[in-house]
Amino acid sequence: MSKFPVDAPQTKVIKTLEILGFRLVREHEHIAMIRENPDGTKTPLTMPNHPRIKGSTLRTICTQAAISRDDFLKAYEQA
């Protein structure tokens, strides 16, 4: 299994989250994304608008958005 990214480029993180079903809603000081789930609920996601995203921040984002480590890493490799 590959390692979790330490300092991931913001553009690659956004592409990864889009692969996982999120869409960009707003980009200012923070980036807001949302995913519409099959059951009709919505999963919001907010991350800092920095050029590089730290690994600890990515893990927190994944936890809050209910994204498994394996799913994130597979999508990250595709992005």
Each residue's pLDDT tens digit, 14-37: 999 999 999 999 999 999 999 999
Look at the domain 7-78 and name its fold: Metal Transport, Frataxin; Chain A (3.30.920)
Do 49 and 27 touch, CB atoms closer than 8 A? yes
Question: In Å, how far are 1, 5, 38, 52 from 35, measured between CA atoms?
Answer: 26, 22, 10, 22
The domains of the chain are located at 7-78
For residue 39, pLDDT over 70 is answered with yes
Do 25 and 43 touch, CB atoms closer than 8 A? no
Q: Which two tokens stand for residue 22?
A: 């999120």
Q: How far is residue 60's CA from residue 47's CA, in Å, rounded to a whole number?
A: 10
Higher pLDDT pick, 44 / 4: 44
For residue 1, pLDDT over 70 is answered with no
Q: Please indicate, yes or no, whether the overall pTM of this predicted structure exceeds 0.75.
A: yes
Look at the block and give the residue holding tokens 């480029």: 9
